[in-house]
Structure 1
Amino acid sequence: MDGHDIDDRQSRTDLFDVPPEESPSPTSRSERWYRTLDVWVLSPLRVAMTDWRMPVGATILTAFVVLGTVGVRLISAPEVSEAPVYTGAFRGGIGAITTSGGWIDIVSLSLGETGFTLPWVALSLPLGTDRFGQDIARGLVHGTPAMLKMALAGAVFATGVALLVGTVAGYRGGVIDTVLMTITDIVMTIPALPLIVLLAAVYQPSDPFVIGVLLAIDNWPGLARALRSQVLTIRTESYVEAARAMGLSPGTVLRRDVIPQLMPYTLINAANAARAVIFESVALYFLGLLPIGSTFNWGVMMNQAYQAGALSNVDRAGHWLFAPMCLLVVFSFGLIVFSQGLDRVFNPQLRARHSKAVGYDDETGVSTGD
């Protein structure tokens, strides 16, 4: 073999020989944990802090949850004739310290020779009393657990049924889709208020969880139809088709590839469903269409105030009616702003932009991390 042939072969070999790229160093376990924590916890928190609605809504709802769980254990229940009837807000009897209800009275203070006296504020009766001489503030505290239970039961039932019906109908299609959507349309066309009144009159529910489910019985059809429309689009995606071609079961495909994409919209509607259940329950209790003697909540307080003539004698008993009404407005406001904040938290572009473990191109709006 000639030397020139050897040199030609060597040059051709060198031409196509490409030095191998250096393999990336393996990611340590701590880095993987930090990446997971940043993507699923830290970046959503950063997004939440960029909008005032999420912190405000979360603070309001947390305060009500603490009030309905811890507050009822620390604050004693109101008692009949514990104070003069129809005592106005911040006008309770003077006393140095009152320990029965966990409140403290601050008596009048004088500022030396000026003769100026600060008006005393009786924190023992911050919202006054009703016609039974019961502390309204402590009544609101002990009426909160029932409201939270009804809101939770209604939100879980409405979103759970809607998620089940919408995903199965949209993913399976065919006869199953037709049957489920026919049932959904039938429930949607039934008048909600007469149905709820009829069920409440027949069963006379007293458990707040049962009442929440009854009130949410007409809240799921609209969400089910919306989720079905989204599933019809998602099931045509390439990764869903690949999962089905690999032989994965429908339940696995729904759990891994379909339902996670529906959760942002579902959670936002869950907050709206809870707000609707709260409004409906208070309205029905106020009108006396739900059994009043078996439970105690804000709607029962408003019903008692109305029956006692709070509207006709606002100067004397108006605070009894307006106190639970104001609390209802604050709770509803918290649910609204919290659901609006969730819309930004579940936005994938915003989460990628605020993530330190995943790169983000501000010009293209596309995540550059793996």
Structure 2
Amino acid sequence: MARKEPTPTSSINEVLTIEQREVEGLSQGTIVRRRFFRHRGALSAMVALGLMAILIYSSVGFDIFGLKIPGWYPHTYLDRFDVALPGGAPTWVLPFDFGAFPFGQDEIGRDIFALVMRGAQQSIIVMLLYGLVAGVLGIVIGAVAGFYRGWVDAVLMRFTDIIIIVPFLILAAVIGRATGEFGAPVLAIALGLFGWTALARLVRGEFLSLREREFVDAARVAGAANTHILFKHILPNAMGVVIVAISLLMSGAILTEAALSFLGVGVKSPDVSLGQILNQYQGAFASRPWLFWWPGLFIIAIALCVNFIGDGLRDAFDPRQRRMPGKKGPYRQVFDKVFRRDADAVEPDADAAEPVLGAKGRG
């Protein structure tokens, strides 16, 4: 039977179904996971943040509800030693000789590495708890206001406006002075109770738009309850925007806590935070810059990693994202379909050629 040559029209129709064939049979979770792991920036940031977290929590150990788990580093942030080098310079000799005090010492002999690791632990705790509390409140309040509208929307948004009109840094300073002495977890929860306003307004806007879509009408016709429509139909379609906003909240929480501690209204002594370290050693920036570099470097690194991860999650959850989870992206497949003919179509069929040659030999 003669092989049917592909026509331009049939090739275009095949190209148009590439996206559907790529996601056919895959669950939404699988699609999101594959899209995220194809995002190089987010994946690199997640690996970097994971390595930093392992270093931070395994080095000096940590305390969980009174259960103290020691780390592999011999010093703690409360220990004091004789100054090993003039000015407390770092004992780290490149590439692999770390010495006793790799980040140096301050004027009273405290180990800067132990101080920075403890301060980074506080920053991560604040980031996670603040993001959790502010994220839950912002999503719930914004979703309810945008979905139900009417007097519910008016009451919730006026309450949001009352909180927004107060400058957040001033409000955070008052909260920090009142709760800083209780530690980073209490400070993070207290800040999260007032840090949800921007997220709530963003979620409200998304829900106002999505509630008018056809899939919401179809869910209502099918008899779905309002809570089911809220959290099973509309919220997944708004997750891209929500996740990016929460990642910005989390990275902003690190900077807010550092700013409060730098101003002296955050985490109090004898505990340590990165902003507190910057405040204590700001006068030594010109003469002993290593006291200032390391806490600032960890603040920037953690905040950047969280932002990159949020950007990758936004792309993964976005239903309009063109990056497909298959082995080859859609643009490469489109190029192959349009500009390169299949090998079977251009190469002679060996099975069809053999009988012809045999007929000639018999003749």
Normalising by structure 2, we get a TM-score of 0.73
Q: Check if 1:35 corresponds to 2:26.
A: yes
Quote the RMSD (CA, aligned, Å). Answer: 3.0
Partner of 2:358: none
Correspondence for 2:54: 66
- Judged with a 3 Å threshold, the aligned counterparts in structure 2 of structure 1 residues 204 and 136 are, in CA distance, closer, same or farther, namely closer
Compute the displacement of 1:38 (Å): 4.3
Cα distance in 2 between the residues matched to 1:350 and 1:231: 20
Q: Alpha-carbon deviation of 1:218?
A: 4.3
Q: Show structure 2 runs of 5+ residues with no match.
A: 1-22, 62-70, 336-363
Pair 1:287 & 2:263 matched: yes
Alignment of 1:240 with 2:232, yes or no, is no
AA partner of residue 154 (structure 2): T
Tell me the matched-pair count: 298
Question: What is the distance in 2 between the residues matched to 1:354 and 1:158?
Answer: 32
Q: Which runs of 4+ in 1 moved over 6 A?
A: 356-361
Change (3 A) 1:200 1:80: same
Contact 1:39 1:357 in 2 (8 A): no
Contact 2:36 2:42 in 1 (8 A): no
Q: Distance in 2 between matches of 1:121 and 1:58?
A: 28
Aligned to 1:310: 284
State the distance in 2 between where 1:223 and 1:33 align.
Answer: 34
Kept after mapping to 1: 8 A contact 2:131/2:192: yes
For residues 342 and 291 of structure 1, do their structure 2 counterparts lie closer, same or farther at Cα, with a shift above 3 Å needed? closer
Q: Distance in 2 between matches of 1:204 and 1:38?
A: 42
Larger Rg: 1
Amino acid at match of 1:84: A
Contact 2:181/2:268 (CA < 8 Å) preserved in 1?
Answer: no
Equivalences for residues 148-159 of structure 1 within 5 A: 148-159=124-135
- The corresponding residue for 1:102 is none
Please say if residues 57 and 335 of structure 1, whose CA atoms lie closer than 8 Å, have aligned partners that are also in contact.
Answer: yes
* 1:84 matched residue in structure 2: 84
CA distance in 2, matches of 1:159, 1:286: 25
Letter aligned with residue 72 of structure 2 = L
Is residue 43–residue 352 contact of structure 1 (8 Å, CA) maintained in 2?
A: yes
Counterpart for residue 310 of structure 2: 339
Whether the 8 Å contact between 1:39 and 1:351 is mirrored in structure 2 is: no
* Rounded Cα–Cα distance in structure 1 between residues aligned with 2:290 and 2:54: 24
Q: State the Cα distance separating 1:33 from its structure 2 match.
A: 12
- 1:187 is displaced (CA, Å) by 0.9
Partner of 2:4: none
- What residue in structure 1 maps to residue 200 of structure 2? 224
Does 2:66 correspond to 1:75? no
- Of all paired residues, the percent bearing the same amino acid is 21
TM-score normalised to structure 1 length: 0.72
List runs of 5+ in structure 1 lacking aligned partners: 1-31, 92-104, 107-118, 364-370
Q: CA deviation at 1:359?
A: 9.0
In structure 2, C-alpha distance between the alignment counterparts of 1:282 and 1:298, rounded to whole Å: 6
Q: Structure 1: how far apart are the matches of 2:49 and 2:312?
A: 13
- Output the amino acid matched with 2:202: A
Where do residues 19-168 of structure 1 align in structure 2 (5 Å cutoff)? 35-36=26-27, 38-46=30-38, 48-49=39-40, 53-71=41-59, 72=61, 73-76=71-74, 77-78=76-77, 79-84=79-84, 86-90=87-91, 121-168=97-144
Change (3 A) 1:294 1:175: farther
